[in-house]
């Protein structure tokens, strides 16, 4: 790990000494491209937001929806500040040039995401409420860890994925026109940020001892568990703007499976169904039962279902909702094909 953790007050003059295999060289190039692509696709947050408000007018919503949107997007806003701080930490912590460039470009993007979200919430006219304890826990765990692997897993692969998932669902439902057109700018940037984690983490894990891998899995589980508890605490706000939290789980599950597939391309022995993933699936089933809202499913029944899901004896809410969503999409596509004919 020496290559990735230089003494903080010195310059890493050894940064070009590494011998690259073909695969490593390809990864380094991809990470470098994250920086250059970031520069090509850069957008001016002030112009974009002002242009959208000019086109659609200031965001206008009924009080209940406005409060709900402000609660959800204040989590995003503080998440952007955490992302800004964490990517700045990574910029300093990482030695290899390509990855260092990628983290630097991310820090610049996150600064823009933070101030634009702040300005949007101000235009919405609500004072953002305090952060719920679980969202705060996800962000501080990732901010505080000294491990590069944990930081990448927390930031690039978990927080980014959660944000992308919420952006996608709120955009699909067209809750508020300024936000609907603003979110694709965020989504393009965040998708690039996930790339740094995908390129870097497998190599770090490959070099870890068994004990270090177990520690990382425990960190991952705590992070995911806290994220799903924070989704539970946002449930009333999400429902007020017409978002079923299960649809968030479905999109998140799909995105996570895509990340796992990309990981397996880089790192063929990446586990298919590790224990932390099973425990997480059980927790999701417990909090968001497949059969309906928690009120309609009894406690005992829920616990049994969660255990069965953990033992992979039945599909849980993650798989069920993801496949429902996939078949709805297929329906839409075939309808589009018929309409187009
Ligand atoms: Fe961001
Ligand atoms: Fe990001």
pLDDT digits (tens, 9 = 90+) for 81-127: 999 999 999 999 998 899 999 999 999 999 999 999 999 999 999 88
pLDDT at 340: 46
Q: Where does the pLDDT of residue 53 fall: very low under 50, low under 70, confident under 90, or very high at 90 and above?
A: very high
How far, in Å, from the CA of 338 to the mean position of ligand 2?
Answer: 38
Q: Give the ligand with the smallest distance to the CA of 114.
A: 1
pLDDT at 333: 58
Q: Where does the pLDDT of residue 331 fall: very low under 50, low under 70, confident under 90, or very high at 90 and above?
A: low
pLDDT higher than threshold 80 for residue 16: no
Sign of CA dihedral 95, 99, 103, 108: positive
pLDDT at 130: 83
How far, in Å, from the CA of 164 to the mean position of ligand 2?
Answer: 9
Instruction: Name, in order, each residue with C-beta under 8 angstroms of 145's C-beta and a sequence gap of 6 or more.
Output: 151, 154, 219
pLDDT, tens only, 170-186: 999 899 999 999 999 99
How far, in Å, from the CA of 86 to the mean position of ligand 2?
Answer: 10
Q: Where does the pLDDT of residue 54 fall: very low under 50, low under 70, confident under 90, or very high at 90 and above?
A: very high
How far, in Å, from the CA of 292 to the mean position of ligand 2?
Answer: 33
Q: What percent of the chain has pLDDT over 70?
A: 91
How far, in Å, from the CA of 110 to the mean position of ligand 1?
Answer: 5
How far, in Å, from the CA of 151 to the mean position of ligand 2?
Answer: 13
* Top-ranked range on mean pLDDT: pick from 15-24, 99-108, 241-250, 330-339: 99-108
Higher pLDDT among residues 41 and 324, named by residue? 41
Q: Where does the pLDDT of residue 321 fall: very low under 50, low under 70, confident under 90, or very high at 90 and above?
A: confident
* Top-ranked range on mean pLDDT: pick from 48-62, 121-135, 232-246: 48-62
pLDDT at 341: 40
Neighbours of ion ligand 1 (CB under 5 A): 80, 83, 110, 113
Q: Give the ligand with the smallest distance to the CA of 87.
A: 2
- The answer to whether 59 touches 178, Cβ cutoff 8 Å, is yes
DSSP assignment letter at 311: T
237-262 mean pLDDT: 87
How far, in Å, from the CA of 107 to the mean position of ligand 2?
Answer: 8
How far, in Å, from the CA of 89 to the mean position of ligand 2?
Answer: 14
Q: Give the ligand with the smallest distance to the CA of 117.
A: 1
Higher pLDDT among residues 27 and 70, named by residue? 70
């Amino acid at each position: 790990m020496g290559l990735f953790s230089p003494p903080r007050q010195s310059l890493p003059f050894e940064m070009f000494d590494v011998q690259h295999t073909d695969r490593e060289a390809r990864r380094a190039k991809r990470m470098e491209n994250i920086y250059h692509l970031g520069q090509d696709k850069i957008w001016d947050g002030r112009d974009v937001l002002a242009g959208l408000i000019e086109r659609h007018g200031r965001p206008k919503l009924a009080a209940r929806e406005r409060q709900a949107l402000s609660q959800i997007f204040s989590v995003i806003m503080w998440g952007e500040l955490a992302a800004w701080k964490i990517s700045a930490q990574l910029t300093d912590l990482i030695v290899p040039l390509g990855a260092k460039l990628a983290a630097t470009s991310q820090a610049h993007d996150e600064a823009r995401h933070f101030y634009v979200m702040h300005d949007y919430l101000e235009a919405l006219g609500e004072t953002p409420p305090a952060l719920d304890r679980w969202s705060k826990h996800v962000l501080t765990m990732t901010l505080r860890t000294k491990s590069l692997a944990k930081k990448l897993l927390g930031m690039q692969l978990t927080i980014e994925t959660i944000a992308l998932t919420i952006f996608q669902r709120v955009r699909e439902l067209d809750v508020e026109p300024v936000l609907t057109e603003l979110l694709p700018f965020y989504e393009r940037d965040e998708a690039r940020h996930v790339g740094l984690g995908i390129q870097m983490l497998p190599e770090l894990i490959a070099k870890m001892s068994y004990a270090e891998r177990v520690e990382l899995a425990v960190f991952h589980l705590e992070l995911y568990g806290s994220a799903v508890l924070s989704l539970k605490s946002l449930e009333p706000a999400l429902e007020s703007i017409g978002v079923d939290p299960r649809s968030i789980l479905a999109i998140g599950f799909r995105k996570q499976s895509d990340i796992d597939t990309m990981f397996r391309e880089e790192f063929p022995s990446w586990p298919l169904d590790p224990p932390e993933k099973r425990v997480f699936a059980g927790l999701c089933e417990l909090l968001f039962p497949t059969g309906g809202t928690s009120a309609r499913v009894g406690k005992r029944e829920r616990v049994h279902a969660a255990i069965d899901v953990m033992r992979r004896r039945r599909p849980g809410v993650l798989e069920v909702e993801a496949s429902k969503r996939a078949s709805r999409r297929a329906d839409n596509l075939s309808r589009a094909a018929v309409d187009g004919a």
